[in-house]
Amino acid sequence: MSPAESAEPAAPSGESSGASSGASAGASSGASATGEWYRHFGTVDAPGSSACYAEWSTSIAEDPELIRRIDEWPHNKRQPLLMLAAARFLGAQVSPYPEFRSFLDAHWADVSRVVLSRATQTNEAGRCATLLPSLAQIAAAEGRPLALIEVGASAGLALFPDRYGYEFDGAGTDGGAGDGVGVPTRLVPTGAPSGSFPVLRCAISGPVPLPAELPPVVWRAGIDLNPLDVRNPDDVAWLEALIWPEQDFRRERLRQAIAIAQAQPPLLVAGDLNEQLVSLAGQAPADAALVVFHSAVMAYLDAESRERFRSSIAGLAAKRGCHWLSNEGHMVIAQADGSNVVPEMDDARLRGRFLLLHNGQPVAITGPHGQSLEWL
Ligand SMILES: C[S@@+](CC[C@H](N)C(=O)[O-])C[C@H]1O[C@@H](n2cnc3c(N)ncnc32)[C@H](O)[C@@H]1O
């Protein structure tokens, strides 16, 4: 896994709980702590995924005047990815640091405005590839179509697993699909012209229960503190800005997923997942199999809120019946409250990837952007 894959999911903790390695650096609010945060991002997170972000971030770490300005923001806004995305949102081009620094000088008031009004809400449709086998298993076991609720949905792009194409590549492994070692398994939405949907590529290992077809979804809805609207050009531009400069394939995938969501915008409820889950679940069709899922969200919550969420899920399962898919990573080295987002597996095994749990049971280790799936 490239270090960059671990960098974005670390971002949420920097926004809310102040719990990422960076956030804890930022928490002490000293200029050098912020500098360390940028140095860490530039030397650990960015290299391998974005040479530009690596250079900008390490240079910012050595730029006391800029660090002083960044330190004027609340500490959860000093997060490198947020600041860099804000500059990109405003038009900063890939360039050597001195040019970027001039851009910041010329646009600092606007950078501040964007940083203070936005948050890192990267919406990665690619994660559907790692959820798909579990969703298909659930639909098959229940013998019913699916009703999906994503908590922490951002713009809701992960709510369309039935509308994307997939290429699962088990080259060099047992593939798990039973269709031959090294032969990628392709799945496409029935009737959709090629080019009208993103194809999510995922390297698989272990006995991944690949389905023969995409599971039917009859209802989909999401909850987010700040749902992004795919019909709002500003929100779309922000989603694009959150993708790192050199990751063109992710930008292309994002655009294709956005086009699908624009044609059929998902129901997105604004609010805290703990406040909204039960009432939203009440709107799901009773004859569908309800799946509540989340990716790269739990790092935003403190231990008490995560515990409350687990109780809500248990209540829903007992009362109405539901499945729970959790796809989360450590990413955060230490939560502010000392708790661990993924206590089920230690980081030495995850190595920056996510753990996928079905109803609380670990089933797979997944690439943070959906690029890999290791079935356990
Ligand atoms: C990194 S994004 C991930 C988005 C999406 N799950 C994905 O995988 O592409 C995390 C999202 O969780 C949302 N979020 C964080 N805490 C939340 C809460 N307590 N209730 C609802 N949404 C929350 C944020 O606003 C953000 O949009």
Query: Measured between alpha carbons, how far is residue 68 from residues 231, 357, 362 in Å?
Result: 37, 42, 44
Whether residue 179 is found in the same domain as residue 85: no
Boundary residue ending a domain (58, 91, 117): 117
* pLDDT for 1: 34
* pLDDT for 349: 85
Residue among 164, 225, 275, 309 to mutate when testing ligand 1 (max atoms within 8 A of CB): 225
**Residue nearest (by alpha carbon) to ligand 1 atom 2:** 121
* pLDDT for 352: 80
CA of 154 to the centre of ligand 1 (A): 6
**Residue nearest (by alpha carbon) to ligand 1 atom 12:** 152
Q: Phi then psi for 145, rounded to 5 degrees?
A: -70, 170
Whether residue 46 is found in the same domain as residue 154: no
d(Cα 14, Cα 136) in Å, to the nearest integer? 34
Whether residue 186 is found in the same domain as residue 85: no
- The number of the ligand 1 atom at minimal distance from the alpha carbon of 123 is 9
Whether residue 285 is found in the same domain as residue 220: yes
**Residue nearest (by alpha carbon) to ligand 1 atom 27:** 154
Report residue 2 CA to chain centroid gap: 15
Whether residue 160 is found in the same domain as residue 136: yes
CA of 152 to the centre of ligand 1 (A): 3
* pLDDT for 369: 92
Going by DSSP bridges, is the β-strand pair 165-169/185-187 parallel, antiparallel, or unpaired?
Answer: antiparallel
Digit-by-digit pLDDT tens for the chain (376 residues) are: 333 333 343 333 333 333 344 444 434 444 478 999 999 999 988 988 899 999 999 999 999 999 999 999 998 899 999 999 999 999 999 999 999 999 999 999 999 999 999 999 999 999 999 999 999 999 999 999 999 999 999 999 999 999 999 999 996 554 444 444 567 899 999 999 988 999 999 999 999 999 999 999 999 999 999 999 999 999 999 999 999 999 999 999 999 999 999 999 999 999 999 999 999 999 999 999 999 999 999 988 999 999 999 999 999 999 999 999 999 997 644 456 767 888 888 888 888 899 999 999 999 999 999 999 999 9
Boundary residue ending a domain (117, 143, 171): 117
**Cβ(20)–Cβ(14) below 8 Å:** yes
CA of 187 to the centre of ligand 1 (A): 28
CA of 16 to the centre of ligand 1 (A): 10
* pLDDT for 27: 40
For the chain, the domain total comes to: 2
Closest Cα partner for 375 from 192, 200, 129? 129
Whether residue 87 is found in the same domain as residue 202: no
* pLDDT for 335: 57
Whether residue 208 is found in the same domain as residue 330: yes
**Residue nearest (by alpha carbon) to ligand 1 atom 16:** 300
User: Token pair 């109803």 is at which residue?
Assistant: 359
Whether residue 74 is found in the same domain as residue 187: no
Q: Concatenated DSSP letters for 220-279?
A: EEEEESS---TT-HHHHHHHHHTS-TT-HHHHHHHHHHHHHHHHSPPEEEES-HHHHHHH
CA of 156 to the centre of ligand 1 (A): 10
Residue among 278, 294, 300 to mutate when testing ligand 1 (max atoms within 8 A of CB): 300
CA of 297 to the centre of ligand 1 (A): 5
Residue among 16, 235, 253, 297 to mutate when testing ligand 1 (max atoms within 8 A of CB): 297
Whether residue 60 is found in the same domain as residue 142: no
Boundary residue ending a domain (58, 84, 117): 117
> How wide is the angle at C-alpha 283 spanned by C-alphas 211 and 328, nearest 5°?
50
Whether residue 254 is found in the same domain as residue 340: yes
* pLDDT for 52: 97
Residue among 82, 160, 224 to mutate when testing ligand 1 (max atoms within 8 A of CB): 224
Write down the pTM of the prediction: 0.88
What residue ranges line ligand 1, CB within 6 angstroms?
12, 16, 121-124, 127, 151-154, 158, 223-226, 272-273, 294-297, 300-301
Whether residue 148 is found in the same domain as residue 265: yes
Whether residue 188 is found in the same domain as residue 82: no
- The number of the ligand 1 atom at minimal distance from the alpha carbon of 11 is 1
* pLDDT for 348: 83
CA of 143 to the centre of ligand 1 (A): 30
**Residue nearest (by alpha carbon) to ligand 1 atom 26:** 121
CA of 319 to the centre of ligand 1 (A): 26
| Order of strands across the sheet that contains 165-169 | 185-187, 165-169, 199-205, 372-375, 361-366, 354-358, 323-329, 289-295, 146-151, 217-224, 267-270
- The number of the ligand 1 atom at minimal distance from the alpha carbon of 305 is 19
Going by DSSP bridges, is the β-strand pair 217-224/361-366 parallel, antiparallel, or unpaired?
Answer: unpaired
Structural domain of 140: 125-375
Residue 195 per-residue DSSP state: T
d(Cα 129, Cα 372) in Å, to the nearest integer? 8
- Numbers of helices and strands, H then E, in the chain: 13, 11
**Residue nearest (by alpha carbon) to ligand 1 atom 9:** 123
CA of 271 to the centre of ligand 1 (A): 11
Closest Cα partner for 150 from 292, 315, 300? 292
Identity of residue 98 = P
